[in-house]
C-alpha cells in the first residue's frame, strides 16, 4: 500500500469558525457545511464549493481564506498539487487565524508525502507537533495527531503511530470520525507488522466504527486490508465478494487512487479463480488510471497480473512488455517505501537511496534499449536474451537491497553500545577528540567527566545481571536528562561512562555534575528492588589545567575519579592538572564543596 496520503486527504472536521467570523451568516454556514461534508458526502461538498466560488467576491477576507483552504484540499484530492500549493501558501501567508494556519500546515504534511518529498514532510510534521501544545481547538489537534499517526504508520514507525493514536483516544471521549481514522492506522500497522491473529474481527470492528460515524472512505480503506487477508489465506472468492459489494460506493467517492487499489486486488482475486477475462479487465483499468503515477503498488500488481496472463497465453512479446513495466513500477514503489523509513532515520541514507534509485533507473534504461535492439532478432534468440534481462534485473534488486540493509546495520553497530544505546568507547573517543580539537582552535574551554557506579559488582552478584542491566539503563537516562545536544556521552566499559562537555567552564561543569550525581542516586533508589543502593563517583578534568589532548584529560580525570573512590565514593573530585592531582583535587559530596 502506498503512503496513507490518500487517507489524509479525507481528514474532515470543521474549523471552529466562530472564532473567525463574529457574525454567523449564510456564507459562514455554507463554509462549515462544506468542511464537514468532505468525506461523508463528497458530491454535496463539490456542490457547495461551486456555490461559494460564484459568490467569492462577496465573502469577507476571512471567509475567502477559509474557502481557499477547502479548495486546496479538493485540488490535492484530485492530484492538482500546483493549484493546491498555491492556495495553501495564500492561507499560510495572509491568514490571521492561527487555527486555520495550523490545519493548513497539517494538510501540507500529507501533500508533501504524497509527492515523495518525505524529508520535507517529516520536517513540517515536526514543526506541527512542536506547536501542538499551543493549540486548544479539538478539531485542529485531532487533525495534526491523525496526520502524525498515519504518516508514522506508513513509514514503519509503529510504536510512534500507536502512541499518538493513544493520545488522540485519550482526548476523545465519544466515538467520532477521528477515532475512525486513527483506528484505520492501528489496523494498517497490525497488518504490516504481520500480527494477523484475530485480524478479521479487528478489521470488521474498524469498519463498523467508520460506518457508524458515516465515514465510508475510511471504511472502504479498511476493507482493502480485509480483502488482502482473504487473498493471503487463499480465499479469492471471499475477497471478490467483499470488493464487489462495495465497488459502487468506491466509484461514487470519486477518488481514483482508492478505485485503483480495489481494481488491483480484484485482478489478483479473479486470476486466482481462473476468471481471466475479468482479471485482465480490472488490471487494464488500473493501468489506464495510473498515467500520472508510474510507481504505485496498484500499478505494480496490475502489470504483474497482465504479465502472468500474457505468459499463460503464449504471447511472449506482450509478456516481456508487461514484465518490464512491472519491474519498473515495483522497483520504484519499493524505493518509495524505503525512502519514507530512511527519511525518518537519517538524511544521509536517504541521499544514498536516491542515488541507488537513479542507478537502478539508469540500468533499466540500458536494458530497455537493449530489448528494442533484440526485437529485431529471431524468436529463439530473443528468448535467451529475455532470460538474461530477468537475471540482471534480479541481481540489481538484490544488490540494492543488501547494500541498504548492510549500511544501516553496520553504521548502528559501529557507533552505539548495545545495552544503553549511547556511544560505545571507540566512537566516544573519536567524537571527543574532534570536539576537543575544535575547542582548542576556537579558544574555548571544555571538560571531561568520568563516571563510575559504586559497588555495581555487588548489584550483579546479589540481584543478577538482568537487574544490573536495568540499573545501567536507568542511570544512563538520568544522565541524559541533564546533558545538552552538544555534549558527548559514551560507555567506556562495564559501569564506567564518560562525558565531554564543550564550551563549558569548570564551575558550570561542577554544578551540572553535582545534579547528575544526585539524579543517579534518586533514580537507582527508585528501582523495584528497594534495597538497592548504588551511587556514583565522578572524576573531572578541565582543558584549563590539562590541555586539549584527550589522553591527558583521561589520565587526570581518572586520577580524580579514584581519589573520589578512596575518599568514600558518591562524590565529585576535580583535578587541577598538577603532577599529583590527589593533593590538589576538590571533592564535591552531598554536603557541598570541600
Contact call for residues 267 and 282 (beta carbons, < 8 A): yes
Q: By mean pLDDT, which of 152-161, 314-323, 480-489 is the weakest? A: 152-161
Per-residue confidence (pLDDT) for residue 340, from 0 to 100:
65
Regarding beta strands 536-542 and 572-575, do their DSSP bridges make them parallel or antiparallel, or are they unpaired?
parallel
Using pLDDT thresholds of 50, 70 and 90, give the confidence band for residue 549: very high
349 contacts 408 by C-beta, under 8 angstroms: yes
Residue 116 has pLDDT above 80, yes or no: no
Q: Is the pLDDT of residue 347 over 50?
A: no
Which CA distances in Å does 162 have to 143, 220, 466? 16, 21, 28
Which pLDDT value is given to residue 7? 43
Task: For residue 155, give the nearest of 200, 179, 177, 125 by alpha carbon.
Answer: 125
- pLDDT bracket for residue 422 (50, 70, 90): very high
Is the separation of the CB atoms in 216 and 193 below 8 Å? no
Stretch 560-580: mean pLDDT: 86
pLDDT at position 506 is 92
The better pLDDT of the pair 255, 308 is held by 308
CA-to-CA distance for 264 and 53, rounded, in angstroms?
A: 36
* Nearest by Cα to 180 from 207, 200, 148: 207
Confidence (pLDDT) at 513: 95
Superfamily (CATH H level) for 425-593: Reverse transcriptase/Diguanylate cyclase domain (3.30.70.270)
Confidence band for 537, pLDDT divided at 50, 70 and 90: very high
Confidence of residue 530 (pLDDT cuts 50, 70, 90): low
Give the mean pLDDT of 516-526: 79
Q: Which residues are within 8 A (CB) of 380 and not within 5 positions of it... i.e. 6 or more apart? A: none
Statement: residue 40 has pLDDT above 70: no
Cell numbers for 310: 500474457
Contact 70, 31 (CB under 8 A): yes
Is 181 within 8 Å of 153 (Cβ atoms)? no
Q: What is the pLDDT of residue 23?
A: 38
293 touches 259 (CB < 8 A): no
pLDDT at 558: 95
Decide if pLDDT at 228 tops 60. Answer: yes
The helix-helix angle for 216-232 and 256-272 (nearest 10°) equals 20
Burial of 108 (0-12, 13-18, 19+ CB in 10 A): buried
**pLDDT surpasses 70 at 157:** yes
> DSSP letter at 56?
G
Q: What is the pLDDT of residue 442?
A: 93
What is the pTM (predicted TM-score) of this model? 0.46
Residue 291: band (very low, low, confident or very high) from pLDDT cuts 50, 70, 90 = low
| Position 523 pLDDT exceeds 60 | yes
Q: What are the sequence ranges of the domains in the chain?
A: 1-176, 331-415, 425-593
Q: Which of 128-132, 312-316, 366-370, 431-435 comes out lowest in average pLDDT?
A: 366-370
Tell me, what's the pLDDT at 342? 65
Residue 575 phi, psi (nearest 5) = -95, 140
> Which of 204, 205, 107 is CA-nearest to residue 150?
107
Residue 324 has pLDDT above 60, yes or no: yes
Residue range 421-432: mean pLDDT, rounded: 92
pLDDT of 436 above 50:
yes
Please tell me the class of the 1-176 domain.
Answer: mainly alpha
> What value does the mean pLDDT take over residues 232-253?
87
For the residues 195-213, what does the mean pLDDT come to?
A: 86
List the beta bridge partners of residue 589: 592
What are the DSSP calls for 556-569, one per residue? HHHHHHHHHHHTTS
Q: What is the per-residue pLDDT for 413?
A: 60
Pick 122 or 14 by higher pLDDT.
122
Q: What is the pLDDT of residue 488?
A: 94
pLDDT value of residue 417: 87
User: Which cell numbers hold the place of 337?
Assistant: 517505501
Q: What pLDDT is attached to residue 544?
A: 92
- pLDDT confidence of residue 89: 92
- In the predicted structure, residue 164 carries a pLDDT above the cut 50: yes
pLDDT of 337 > 70? The answer is no
The lowest-confidence range among 110-119, 400-409, 421-430, 570-579 is 400-409
pLDDT confidence tier of residue 583, bands split at 50, 70 and 90: very low
Q: Between residues 553 and 40, which one has the greater pLDDT?
A: 553
Among residues of the chain, what percentage have pLDDT more than 90? 23
Q: What is the pLDDT of residue 410?
A: 62
Q: How confident is the model at residue 517 (pLDDT cuts 50, 70, 90)?
A: very high
Angle, helix 425-442 to helix 379-415, in steps of 10 degrees: 70
Q: Give the single-character DSSP code of 416.
A: B
Give 337: exposed, middle or buried? Use CB within 10 Å, 0-12, 13-18, 19+.
middle
β-pairing, 488-493 vs 446-453, is unpaired
Mean pLDDT of the chain: 81
- Tell me if domain 1-176 and domain 425-593 are identical in fold: no
Residue with the larger pLDDT of the pair 14 and 466: 466
Mean pLDDT of 556-567: 94
Joined together, the cell numbers standing for residue 318 give 506482450
C-alpha distances in Å from residue 438, one per residue of 38, 435, 549: 56, 5, 11
Amino acid at each position: 500500500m502506498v503512503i496513507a496520503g490518500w487517507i489524509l486527504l479525507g481528514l474532515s472536521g470543521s474549523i471552529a469558525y466562530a472564532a473567525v467570523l463574529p457574525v454567523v451568516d449564510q456564507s459562514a454556514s455554507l463554509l462549515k457545511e462544506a468542511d464537514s461534508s468532505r468525506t461523508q458526502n463528497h458530491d454535496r461538498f463539490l456542490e457547495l464549493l461551486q456555490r461559494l466560488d460564484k459568490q467569492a467576491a462577496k465573502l469577507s477576507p476571512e471567509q475567502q481564506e477559509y474557502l481557499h483552504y477547502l479548495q486546496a484540499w479538493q485540488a490535492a484530492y484530485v492530484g492538482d498539487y500546483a493549484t493546491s500549493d498555491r492556495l495553501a501558501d495564500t492561507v499560510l501567508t495572509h491568514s490571521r487565524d492561527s487555527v486555520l494556519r495550523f490545519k493548513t500546515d497539517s494538510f501540507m504534511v500529507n501533500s508533501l508525502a504524497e509527492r515523495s518529498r518525505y524529508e520535507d514532510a517529516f520536517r513540517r510534521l515536526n514543526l506541527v507537533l512542536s506547536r501542538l501544545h499551543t493549540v486548544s481547538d479539538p478539531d485542529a489537534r485531532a487533525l495534526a495527531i491523525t496526520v502524525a499517526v498515519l504518516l508514522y504508520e506508513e513509514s514503519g514507525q509503529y510504536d510512534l503511530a500507536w502512541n499518538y493514536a493513544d493520545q488522540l483516544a485519550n482526548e476523545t471521549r465519544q466515538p467520532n470520525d477521528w477515532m475512525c481514522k486513527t483506528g484505520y492506522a492501528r489496523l494498517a500497522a497490525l497488518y504490516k507488522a504481520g500480527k494477523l491473529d484475530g485480524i478479521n474481527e479487528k478489521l470488521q470492528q474498524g469498519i463498523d466504527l467508520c460506518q457508524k460515524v458515516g465515514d465510508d472512505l475510511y471504511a472502504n480503506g479498511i476493507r482493502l486490508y480485509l480483502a488482502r487477508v482473504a487473498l493471503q489465506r487463499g480465499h479469492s472468492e471471499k475477497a471478490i465478494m467483499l470488493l464487489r459489494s462495495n465497488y459502487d460506493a468506491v466509484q461514487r467517492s470519486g477518488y481514483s487512487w482508492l478505485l485503483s487499489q480495489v481494481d488491483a486486488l480484484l485482478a489478483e482475486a479473479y486470476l486466482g479463480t481462473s476468471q481471466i477475462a475479468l482479471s485482465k479487465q480490472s488490471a487494464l483499468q488500473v493501468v489506464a488510471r495510473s498515467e500520472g503515477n508510474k510507481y504505485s503498488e496498484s500499478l505494480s500488481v496490475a502489470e504483474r497480473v497482465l504479465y502472468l496472463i500474457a505468459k499463460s497465453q503464449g504471447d511472449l512479446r506482450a509478456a516481456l512488455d508487461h514484465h518490464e513495466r512491472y519491474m519498473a513500477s515495483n522497483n520504484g514503489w519499493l524505493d518509495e517505501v524505503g525512502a519514507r523509513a530512511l527519511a525518518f532515520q537519517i538524511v544521509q541514507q536517504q541521499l544514498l537511496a536516491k542515488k541507488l534509485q537513479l542507478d537502478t533507473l539508469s540500468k533499466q534504461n540500458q536494458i530497455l534499449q537493449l530489448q528494442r535492439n533484440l526485437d529485431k532478432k529471431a524468436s529463439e534468440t530473443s528468448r535467451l536474451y529475455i532470460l538474461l534481462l530477468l537475471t540482471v534485473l534480479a541481481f540489481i534488486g538484490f544488490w540494492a537491497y543488501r547494500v541498504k540493509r548492510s549500511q544501516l546495520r553496520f553504521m548502528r553497530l559501529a557507533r552505539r553500545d548495545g545495552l544503553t544505546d549511547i556511544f560505545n568507547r571507540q566512537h566516544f573517543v573519536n567524537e571527543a577528540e574532534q570536539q576537543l580539537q575544535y575547542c582548542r582552535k576556537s579558544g574555548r574551554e571544555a571538560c571531561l567527566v568520568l563516571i563510575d557506579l559504586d559497588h555495581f559488582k555487588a548489584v550483579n552478584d546479589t540481584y543478577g545481571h538482568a537487574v544490573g542491566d536495568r540499573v545501567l539503563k536507568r542511570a544512563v537516562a538520568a544522565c541524559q536528562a541533564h546533558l545538552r545536544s552538544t555534549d558527548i556521552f559514551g560507555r567506556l566499559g562495564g559501569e564506567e561512562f564518560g562525558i565531554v562537555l564543550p564550551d563549558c567552564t569548570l564551575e558550570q561543569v561542577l554544578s551540572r555534575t553535582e545534579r547528575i550525581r544526585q539524579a543517579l542516586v534518586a533514580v537507582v533508589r527508585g528501582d523495584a528492588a528497594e534495597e538497592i543502593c548504588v551511587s556514583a563517583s565522578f572524576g573531572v578534568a578541565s582543558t584549563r589545567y590539562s590541555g586539549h589532548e584527550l589522553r591527558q584529560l583521561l589520565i587526570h580525570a581518572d586520577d580524580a575519579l579514584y581519589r573520589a573512590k578512596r575518599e568514600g565514593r558518591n562524590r565529585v573530585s576535580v583535578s587541577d592538572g598538577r603532577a599529583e592531582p590527589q593533593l590538589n583535587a576538590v571533592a564535591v559530596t552531598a554536603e557541598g564543596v570541600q
